[in-house]
Amino acid sequence: MNCDEVIRELSNFIDGELDAATKHEIESHFVECHECKLVVDQTKMTIKVFCDCEPVELPGDLRNRLHEGLRRKLREATQ
């Protein structure tokens, strides 16, 4: 497997969607190709930092607007 083929399978590799033989081929490629290993590790890190970033509390004014707006519209809908 060359570098281009490894990168094309990168998502499937990260998501664990490859058969054992292809996974082994990619892992063997990493032994010889530090750059592909870096790309895979950095892509995993990229996904991780986005997933680890917890959503912030809504600002009070936004939260109030959302809930008041919902209450008003739901009240209108049920009347």
Cα gap 45→47, rounded to integer Å: 5
> What is the torsional sign of CA 23, 29, 34, 40?
negative
Binding flag, residue 24, other proteins (CB under 8 A): no
Cα gap 47→60, rounded to integer Å: 30
Binding flag, residue 43, other proteins (CB under 8 A): yes
Could you tell me the smallest distance in angstroms from the CB atom of residue 56 to other proteins?
7
Residues that bind other proteins (CB under 8 A): 3-4, 7-8, 10-12, 14, 35, 38-39, 42-43, 45-53, 55-58, 62-63, 65-67, 69-71, 73-75, 77-78
